[in-house]
């Protein structure tokens, strides 16, 4: 799993950055986030960021390597 600039930027977000990030990303893809959903969207993005950071940390030095094709 290669860590590209977008992933690095996502991992570098703070909890305070998430609302602006969510609005910017929604605008980029042409979505409008309804007001009643904003708190849940922000919470889910914070959880996703934490999980992603955990997985990247678990990869250690392999985080920058090109993934191998799955061989059953």
Structure tokens at 43: 């919470």
Write down the pTM of the prediction.
Answer: 0.78
Task: Please report the pLDDT score of residue 2 as a whole number.
Answer: 61
Tell me the pLDDT tens digit for each residue of 5-23: 888 899 999 999 999 999 9
At residue 17, φ and ψ (nearest 5 deg) are -80, -20
Q: What is the DSSP letter of 9?
A: H
């Amino acid at each position: 799993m290669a860590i590209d600039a977008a992933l690095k930027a996502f991992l570098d977000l703070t909890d305070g950055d998430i609302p602006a990030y969510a609005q910017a990303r929604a605008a980029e893809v042409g979505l409008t986030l309804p007001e009643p959903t904003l708190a849940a969207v922000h919470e889910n993005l914070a959880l996703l960021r934490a999980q992603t950071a955990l997985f990247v940390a678990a990869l250690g030095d392999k985080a920058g390597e090109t993934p191998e094709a799955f061989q059953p």
